[in-house]
Chains A and B, each alone.
Chain A
Amino acid sequence: MGIVQSSPLVWALSFVTFGVIQGDDTRVEDPQQLALLESALKADPVALGMLYDQYVDRIYSYIYHRVGQAEVAEDLTGQVFMRVLEAVRSGKPWRSSFSGWLYRIAHNQVIDYYRRNKRAVFVDVDEATPVASVDGDLAHMVETRLASQHLREALTEITEEQAQVITLRFLDDLSIAEVASIMDKTEGAIKALQYRAVLALRRVMQP
């Protein structure tokens, strides 16, 4: 396979020749993208800036969907990209797909954010809004009674992996293949996880 071996720096790129995600469900070997990644590995500020421009909105979107606050999302997004620089500096850059690696940093930032803030907001289940009745029109109930905040709260009550797959698949429009790359799982595992996630979410949303 076409492993780039133009310098000792690009050994990591041997892992990148597969799975360069282009923002949709395309997994291709894009020479330009590989060159960009190679330059970024060498701490080329222009290449790093281009990668930033490529991914910043997507990472912001992912983080916003997880934390629900624009200001926090901005801060965490900034930290994600600073992590990229730190990784390049320390010689521990991405070894598989860059975007997958980037989303994992974002994911860890979200986890870290919640840990630091210890989920200071306690949700009293007595006050939780019932989402739907068993015999009611669920679609109508969901659309009319669930504000986004409540649904977000529901997302916090399923497992971390389930919330991640819901966010990546349904909110950030990533394909099964992309989510599989980010979460380092097979596509089959992601489908199964997706199924369990929807099931769990629905269960949480029921009274």
Chain B
Amino acid sequence: MMPSADDSLVNVLSECCELLMAGASIDACLERFPAQASALGPLLTTFVAVRALRPVPVRKPNVAAQKRAEFLAAAQHLRSDLVARPAGGIVALGLWWEQARAALAHAMRGYQAPRAMPLGLALLLAGLIIVGMVTTAAVTSAASALPGELLYPVKLATQQVQVTFAPNSQARTSLQQRFAAERIADAQEIMDLKRAVRTIWFAGVIEAVQPEQWVVSGVPVTVVPETRITGDPKVGAPVEVTASAPGDGRLVARVLRVVGPPPAGSVQPASIGAPSTPTGTATSSPEPADTPTLQPTATATPAAGSTLSGSSPLLLPTDPLDIRLRRTPTPTLTLMPLPTRAATRTPLPTSTHSPNKYRLEGRVTRIDGYLWTIAGVTVDTVNTLFVGNPDLDYLVQVTYVQRPDGSYLALEIVTIGGPLATPAPFEVTGVLQAMSGDTWTVEGWQIKIRPDTVIEGNPQIGVYVRVKALTQANREIWATKITVLTLIEYNFVGTIQEIGGDHWIIEGQTVLIDGNTQIIGEPAVGLTAEVVAVRMPDGSLVARIISVVVPDTPVPTPTATETLAPTATETVPAAEDTPTPTEPAPLAEPTATATEIAPAAGMPRIYRIGLAQRLPVNTSPPRSSS
């Protein structure tokens, strides 16, 4: 078969495009293919015109950096998620398999006589390997954990162990500096991720003090009237920050503890506003009760002193876990007294340098700001490490100390049981109307997003979601799973048979009209309309666009899409996970006749609707509208 003229032009155009992209001129191309010059010329001119659109505005560096940071944070989170949830997919399985294989290979290295090993020994070895793998996986996963996550305490403990077993003081100081920097990065990441976290702790140096915001080692910290400020806030001074993240990208300070003066010779920027009048409740001196006992400053911590004496701007970690590990010479749980409720009410002898720690189990019966009442004992949670996101009615184990003034300070509150009432299953399907921190609104229901809530898809305001949840004793609805529903889109053309309020019948199909339905033209019973609709989870069809086809308008080539059948568009949302190119084979390419339609006198104006034209369905006829 001889190639057609079009076939020839296809190849010639392709070759000329390559030449033009390489810098050749249109004339040079036309001279090269004189036989096709007349047909080729306009095409090459179009090509050149399109090429003029190539320049792309430079991405804003701050936006690009932020997007990159978001991606990297999400990648880190993904890694920890997959390791923490070994049943989560092939990737996690692979990670575990690789660890297992590596462990086995290591264990079996040099092992020559398998039959010589007693069965018991083999089982013991296997058990040890498995325990090692689990521990390794947990620690590996914890390395990327963030505040509020289950493994974050593991991360802190691991770091403390690293510090403890550092080979020399220089290495120890280096590790402490590194981990202090990590705390700051953790806080920044929580802000970037807009994650709601109850307690975040880090230490740094005051870089700016303004009435409603401080900047501590680059991290903006919001100061509210409830913020407790101790010490003398000056730029350059070391400060410990205990804050919470409400989930809107801010850190709201609960306690700002200035633990020392600025280094001698530090410059006080003149632009810093009102350092002595922060909004929070400032005290002119550190609280004498806290400083020597429960929340030692860096100068009170021997390990920290060496760093502070240096020039590093980072304060050493002195978080509750850090305190606990350092102050418990043998971190064996049995060494701690387990007081009864009566015992805890008895004034306890304490040492100003080594307060006794107590542990108590019970339900949280009251939460009043930072004061939690657990089994009748009220503890201050101002600088407490929460594990498992405890809340009202939860069964918890609290580790606490007594302050010199007799009050109790919780060092750690660990969830060991859920609330009293048996949670009741709850399901709702509908539009995601609002996303405010960890509270989303779905069909008017306030849904709490929990750290263990499984979220499938990419939830955004306006999408349809299915929520599976448990109602709690305090009437909160805690989501266990939220699935973004993919609505399948349908296109069909048919006769309008009935128009009744929000229910129309078109070509035998009942379609619902809602506030988002675009009606183009003047619909009337008997007229033909093109419908773009989506199938709702309840099976109903909701019209997105109803475009009345004006009888006088020439309609080129009716297609098979007139029957109600899912078109190629339905594959698009599903394809995003594993994209496969949609194959809009029946596309009716715009023809000259389609674009040449001009509004004749008395005819409605002609509009092009981008959506319908972008969709690989019946694209040809422009819609009419009055």
User: Is B614 within 8 A of A143, CB to CB?
Assistant: no
Contact A191 to B11, CB < 8 A, known contacts A41-B91, A108-B576, A161-B584: yes
CB distance from B5 to the nearest CB of A (A): 11
User: Is B49 within 8 A of A142, CB to CB?
Assistant: yes
Bound-state Cα–Cα, A202 to B489, Å = 31
User: Is B589 within 8 A of A108, CB to CB?
Assistant: no
User: Is B43 within 8 A of A204, CB to CB?
Assistant: no
Select the residue from A159, A166, A169 with max chain B CB neighbours within 10 A.
A159
User: Is B608 within 8 A of A157, CB to CB?
Assistant: yes
> Is residue B420 within 8 Å, beta carbon to beta carbon, of the partner chain?
no
B65-120: which residues lie under 8 A (CB-CB) from chain A?
67-68, 70-72, 74-76, 78-79, 81-82, 88-91, 93-95, 97-98, 101
Bound-state Cα–Cα, A176 to B144, Å = 42
Count contacts on A: residues with CB < 8 A to the other chain: 92
Bound-state Cα–Cα, A163 to B21, Å = 18
Q: Which residue of A lies closest to B20 (CB)?
A: A170
A123-164: which residues lie under 8 A (CB-CB) from chain B?
123-126, 138-139, 142-143, 146, 148, 151-152, 156-162
User: Is B42 within 8 A of A85, CB to CB?
Assistant: no
User: Is A204 within 8 A of B590, CB to CB?
Assistant: yes
By a CB distance below 8 angstroms, the chain B residues around A56 are 64, 67-68
B9-46: which residues lie under 8 A (CB-CB) from chain A?
9-11, 13-14, 17, 21, 26, 42-43, 45-46
Cβ 8 A contact of B605, one of A126, A139, A158, A200: A126
> Is residue B475 within 8 Å, beta carbon to beta carbon, of the partner chain?
no
Cβ 8 A contact of B91, one of A88, A108, A126, A183: A88
Contact A82 to B49, CB < 8 A, known contacts A49-B71, A122-B608, A198-B43: no
By a CB distance below 8 angstroms, the chain A residues around B13 are 191, 194-195, 198
User: Is B57 within 8 A of A138, CB to CB?
Assistant: no
User: Is B59 within 8 A of A74, CB to CB?
Assistant: yes
Q: Which residue of A lies closest to B63 (CB)?
A: A74
User: Is B577 within 8 A of A83, CB to CB?
Assistant: yes
Cβ 8 A contact of A124, one of B6, B589, B605: B605
> Is residue B266 within 8 Å, beta carbon to beta carbon, of the partner chain?
no
Bound-state Cα–Cα, A205 to B43, Å = 11
Cβ 8 A contact of B72, one of A49, A111, A115, A159: A49
Interface, chain B (partner A; CB < 8 A): 6, 9-11, 13-14, 17, 21, 26, 42-43, 45-54, 56-57, 59-60, 63-64, 67-68, 70-72, 74-76, 78-79, 81-82, 88-91, 93-95, 97-98, 101, 144, 458, 462, 489, 518, 544-545, 569, 572-573, 575-582, 584, 587, 589-592, 595, 597-599, 605-616, 619, 622
Interface, chain A (partner B; CB < 8 A): 7-9, 41-45, 48-49, 52-53, 56-57, 60-61, 64-65, 70, 74, 77-79, 81-83, 85-92, 95, 101, 104-105, 107-109, 111-112, 114-116, 118-119, 121-126, 138-139, 142-143, 146, 148, 151-152, 156-162, 166, 169-171, 173, 176, 182-185, 191-192, 194-196, 198-205
